[in-house]
A and B are shown apart, each in its own frame.
Chain A
Amino acid sequence: MKTRFLKLVLPAFAILLAVGLAFATESNTVSQVAYYQTSSGVMEVTIGDDCEPNGDISCTYFGNQLYAEPSLSTPLGRNP
């Protein structure tokens, strides 16, 4: 009886714990649009919120530096 109870309760507890933890630690990442220069002009791409204007480590998209505006004046980077 006790074993049967544990067999049902333990998996249910594990599932609830995992899903509960996922909700509890959900981060609110915000997407933003960034711009980069290609041979065919300025292209845009949606990126995460880890890239900031003038960050230390360059944010790139397939090797191209990303910028905050279409005028490509503010480079985006990550801060360590």
Chain B
Amino acid sequence: MHTGTFIKKRQAIVETICYLYSILFLYTASSKLMGLSDFKLQLDRSEILGPFAEWIAWMVPLLEIVLAILLLTKVYRLVALYGSLILMTLFTSYIAWMLRFSDHIPCSCGGVISSMGWETHLVFNAFWVVLALIGIVLLENLKKINI
């Protein structure tokens, strides 16, 4: 049996996670778009992403903006959380792969985040992956309760 307070607390946590993700995505997308030429340059220097630099330089910030907007709307929140989880997992895997196999890691992140060390960046991203997972689990549970 779930009380009203229990449900409200869960809703508040999900809401907070979604807002935090929205702010993060809008912040990094804006930073990337403001320094688009430098962002392309950094991607160009990546051995894995270099051939797709032009395409990725536009797609990543646009995807972040779309996800940020969807996270702010209640209807598409769950889909957006899954999207955020996938995107953040891709970023984290890229950093982990580059840390393991590359002698030089080009920074293609946005704003002050680019001044983080790569190990710190990996922990930072892992934290966001966990946050998205918590949001998804709570929102799925809330959906079941409402049914």
Q: Is the CB of A18 within 8 A of B41?
A: no
Main secondary structure of the interface of B (DSSP, over half): helix
Assign chain B's interface to a size class: 20 to 34
Query: Chain A residues with Cβ under 8 A from B72's Cβ?
Result: 11, 14-15
- Closest chain-B Cβ to A7's Cβ sits at a distance in Å of 9
A-B contact count (CB 8 A): 64
Query: Chain A residues with Cβ under 8 A from B147's Cβ?
Result: none
Q: Does A31 contact B (CB under 8 A)?
A: yes
Name the residue in A11, A22, A47 with the highest tally of chain B Cβ atoms < 10 Å from its Cβ.
Answer: A22
Q: Is the CB of B27 within 8 A of A21?
A: yes
Q: Is the CB of B34 within 8 A of A23?
A: yes
B-binding residues in A (CB < 8 A): 10-11, 14-15, 17-19, 21-23, 25-27, 29, 31, 46-48, 59-62
